[in-house]
């Protein structure tokens, strides 16, 4: 008998049908000489510190660096600590029995880093010695599964992938466990979670937040002139320069108005070609789904996974935007299939040789770019349909012709001021016609150097400089992909992928972790750090735990382990040294959490005393621990204002708060019924004397 192990029951069911394992047993299917079983994600994980005899958060125990990591069944948290999940333990017993009774194991977990780790941890935990082979496929269509089963590969081919996954898992444990314990010990109260990727990601969100909030807009003025164009149309030129002083702009405005005509100093005409976009990888799909449809990164990943399991798209957790030659051979057939769907009926241009920009064997990693599979997309939910058609539409764009335009730039001069205007005429819409994105032609008159233009009108406009906007999930994913470096060019972004932070498969969960731990929140599409997030970042922002570039270097090293260029042991030694360094650094920041008595009893429990720390005021009763963060909407509350809040339940009317949109406002800070800090606005009082907490 051979045992096939899949990552999820739904995938196991599809494989079982194809191999003839139709008899349902407890925890597996059987038949045709096969047993087909499944995991539920990670059934086995690294033990928590108490698995090594280390209990509680104790300074002298740090850093916790196990000689050998222990594997345990996935655990659940209870009032008495962590204990093994009973359902997981039962399934592991089934898997062990099947492994031991088999002549061969076929590994059919997801074909990626985490899928490999799920199997290998199970294999080692069960103590199995049964030889195993790998099913490596990029889609779950019947054809792909059958071809994969005919081309099973020796399991050892993926040893480096496993070593990479193991190194990532152990490094995240070392940094997360030690960093969190060290910072929480230094703080003296509460738990402050930090992580190898989580903390640098929060740092990027906080840095952008402060850059945005501290930005001071500056006014500028710009001149414009209007002249006759083609067919009675007016052509509007704008000054190349912008002036910070209104007086300077108005002085030139009067001179230009008085001159009455402008001279053409340059007329450039050139053909501009816009390459087709590359196919989607997961991160690019997440970014565009967020920008265009408001999907969260996690929502996009979950939806893509559903489409994959419905056999409608190829493997979603891909980091490549290219396909290999053998897959390119299938593209005409897939495009023809897309063209049969109502949404794309008139958009697909049939041709024998589609554009090859997204074809490059050398740039395909574990999996190629996202494609539809040719299976009919029936009965899709709204979300599923949006994402499916995004992938189909991108395929149509990627294999269309280039967009070609004639671009004209005309420069004129009047009274010493340079003015320019740009026009373009689309010669070949190409890929931009897929979504009708080609803009209306801007046709300029046939002007040449030395021509004189009569000015029909002069105007001056006032503008204000704008800060970089707050991060959205789309821009944060871009920043994670390039370790914070701002890169627009597709090809350069691809080259940076090895030193981004996180991976396509993990970035969504990192972002969600920051939400779950209360470090940031969504404000429409913007990501805004909470007071808790800003307080944490203010403590660690200059430390190595928050270093984005260094975290990117770790990702580069992990990619090199996968390629067999460096040893996992060397990486592990570096991480151990780094863990000792950040543990020491975080423990030493206890001075930032130094406390003093506020002179106030805790308004919540009534027995504890409220103590001032650097960024927070907290009850010293361990069973209560009520936190009051000093920072509220961009304003730090003074000691006296905090005392008013603690004793009266509210402050006086305070000025200088800033909304999430950057607007200043005045408000009273008060406790609600759960002792959360909230705002009460003057207009809400309706002339009545403010009586205390807002309920």
**What is the set of active-site residues?**
315
Is residue 372 within 8 Å of residue 392, measured between CB atoms? yes
Both tokens assigned to 199: 């903390």
Q: Copy the structure tokens of residue 380.
A: 């899709």
β-pair partners for 417: 414
Residue 401: left (phi > 0), alpha (psi -120 to 50), or beta? beta
Rg of the chain taking only CA atoms, in angstroms: 31
Q: Identify which of 367, 399, 390 has the alpha carbon closest to the alpha carbon of residue 504.
A: 367
Determine how β-strand 153-154 pairs with β-strand 132-134.
antiparallel
Do residues 554 and 596 lie in contact, with contact meaning Cβ atoms separated by under 8 Å? no
Interatomic CA distance for residues 498 and 117, integer angstroms: 20
Whether the CB-CB separation of 35 and 138 falls below 8 Å is answered with no
Residues 6+ apart with CB under 8 A from 277: 394, 397, 398, 431, 490
Question: Smallest Cα–Cα separation from 321: which of 562, 491, 144, 483?
Answer: 491
Beta strand extents in 232-355 (DSSP E only)? 234-239, 261-274
State how far the Cα of 198 lies from the Cα of 210, in Å rounded to an integer: 19
- Joined together, the tokens standing for residue 590 give 């206890």
Q: Are 303 and 286 in contact (CB under 8 A)?
A: no
Burial of 590-623, coded b for 16+ CB within 10 Å and e otherwise, reads eebbebeebebbbbbeeebebbbbebbbbbbbee
Distance CA 237, CA 226 (A): 6
Taking alpha carbons only, the member of 156, 150, 144, 105 closest to residue 128 is 105
Contact between 268 and 388 under an 8 Å Cβ cutoff? The reply is no
Six-digit token pair at 547? Answer: 């270093």
Residue 662 region by backbone torsions, left for phi larger than 0, else alpha for psi between -120 and 50, else beta: left
- What does the DSSP 8-state code read for residue 275? P
CB atoms within 10 A of CB 168: 24
62 by DSSP, 3-state: which? coil
CA atoms within 13 A on the CB side of 173: 19
CA 45 – CA 71 distance, rounded (Å): 6
CA distance 468 to 303: 30
Other beta carbons within 10 Å of 576: 15
Structure tokens at 192: 């402050």
Name the strands in the sheet holding 457-464, side by side, starting at the edge strand that comes first in the sequence. Answer: 452-454, 261-274, 403-414, 417-428, 234-239, 219-228, 457-464
Sequence-ordered strand ranges (E) for 574-642: 596-601, 609-612, 616-619, 627-629, 631-632, 635-636
């Amino acid at each position: 008998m051979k045992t096939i192990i899949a990552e999820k029951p739904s995938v196991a069911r599809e494989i079982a049908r194809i191999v003839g394992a139709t008899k349902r047993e407890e925890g597996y299917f059987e038949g045709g000489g096969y047993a087909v079983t499944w995991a539920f994600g990670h059934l086995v994980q690294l033990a928590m510190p108490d698995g090594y005899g280390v209990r509680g958060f104790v300074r002298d125990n740090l850093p916790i660096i196990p000689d050998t990591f222990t594997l345990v069944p996935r655990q659940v948290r209870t009032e008495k600590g962590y204990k093994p999940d009973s359902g997981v333990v039962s399934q592991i017993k089934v898997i062990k029995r099947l492994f031991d009774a088999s002549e061969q194991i076929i590994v059919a977990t997801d074909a990626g880093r985490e899928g490999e780790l799920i199997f290998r941890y199970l294999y080692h935990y069960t103590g199995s010695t049964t030889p195993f082979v790998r099913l490596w496929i990029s889609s779950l269509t019947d054809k792909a599964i059958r071809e994969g089963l005919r081309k099973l590969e020796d399991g050892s081919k993926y040893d480096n992938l496993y070593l990479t996954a193991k190194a990532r898992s152990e490094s995240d444990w070392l940094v997360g466990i030690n960093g969190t314990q060290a910072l929480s010990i230094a703080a003296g109260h509460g738990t402050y979670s930090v992580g190898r990727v989580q903390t640098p990601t929060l740092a990027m969100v906080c840095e952008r937040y402060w850059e945005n909030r501290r930005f001071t807009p500056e006014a500028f003025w710009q001149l414009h002139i209007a002249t006759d164009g083609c067919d009675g149309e007016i052509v509007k030129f704008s000054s190349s320069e912008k002036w910070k002083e209104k007086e300077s702009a108005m002085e030139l405005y009067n001179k230009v108005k008085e001159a009455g005509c402008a001279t053409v100093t340059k007329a450039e005409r050139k053909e501009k070609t816009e390459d087709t976009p590359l196919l989607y990888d997961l991160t690019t799909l997440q970014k565009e789904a967020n920008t265009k449809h408001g999907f969260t990164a996690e929502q996009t990943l979950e939806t893509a996974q559903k489409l994959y399991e419905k056999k409608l798209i190829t493997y979603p957790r891909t980091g490549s935007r290219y396909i290999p030659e053998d897959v390119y051979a299938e593209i005409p057939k897939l495009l023809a299939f897309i063209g049969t769907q109502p949404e794309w009926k008139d958009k697909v241009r049939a041709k024998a040789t589609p554009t090859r920009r997204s074809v490059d064997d050398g740039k395909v990693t574990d999996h190629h770019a996202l494609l539809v599979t040719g299976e009919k997309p029936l009965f899709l939910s709204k979300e599923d349909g949006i994402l499916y058609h995004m992938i189909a539409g991108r395929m149509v764009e990627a294999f269309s012709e280039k967009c070609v335009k004639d671009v004209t730039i005309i420069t004129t001069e009047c009274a010493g001021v340079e003015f320019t205007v740009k026009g373009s005429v689309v010669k070949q819409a190409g890929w931009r016609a897929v979504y009708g994105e080609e803009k209306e032609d801007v046709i300029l008159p046939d002007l040449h150097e030395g021509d004189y233009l009569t000015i029909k009108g002069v105007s001056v406009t006032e503008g204000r400089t704008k800060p970089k906007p707050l991060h959205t999930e789309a821009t944060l994913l871009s920043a994670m992909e390039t370790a914070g470096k701002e890169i627009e060019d597709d090809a350069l972004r691809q080259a940076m992928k090895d030193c981004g932070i996180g991976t396509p498969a993990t970035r969504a969960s990192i972002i969600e972790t920051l939400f779950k731990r209360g470090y940031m929140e969504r404000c429409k599409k913007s990501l805004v750090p909470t007071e808790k997030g800003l307080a944490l970042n203010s403590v660690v922002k200059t430390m190595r735990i928050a270093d984005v570039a260094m975290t990117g270097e770790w990702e580069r090293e992990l990619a090199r382990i996968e390629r067999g260029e460096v040893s996992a042991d060397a990486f592990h030694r570096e991480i151990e040294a780094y863990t000792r360094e950040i543990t020491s650094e975080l423990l030493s920041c206890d001075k930032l959490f130094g406390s003093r008595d506020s002179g106030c009893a805790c308004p919540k429990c009534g027995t504890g005393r409220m103590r001032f720390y650097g960024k927070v005021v907290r009850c010293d009763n361990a069973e209560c621990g009520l936190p009051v963060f000093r920072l509220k909407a961009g304003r730090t509350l003074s000691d006296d204002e905090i005392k008013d809040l603690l004793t009266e339940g509210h402050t006086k009317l305070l000025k200088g708060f800033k909304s999430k949109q950057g607007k200043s406002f005045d408000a009273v800070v008060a406790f609600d019924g759960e002792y959360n800090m909230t705002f009460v606005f003057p207009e809400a009082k309706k002339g009545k004397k403010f009586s205390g907490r807002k309920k």
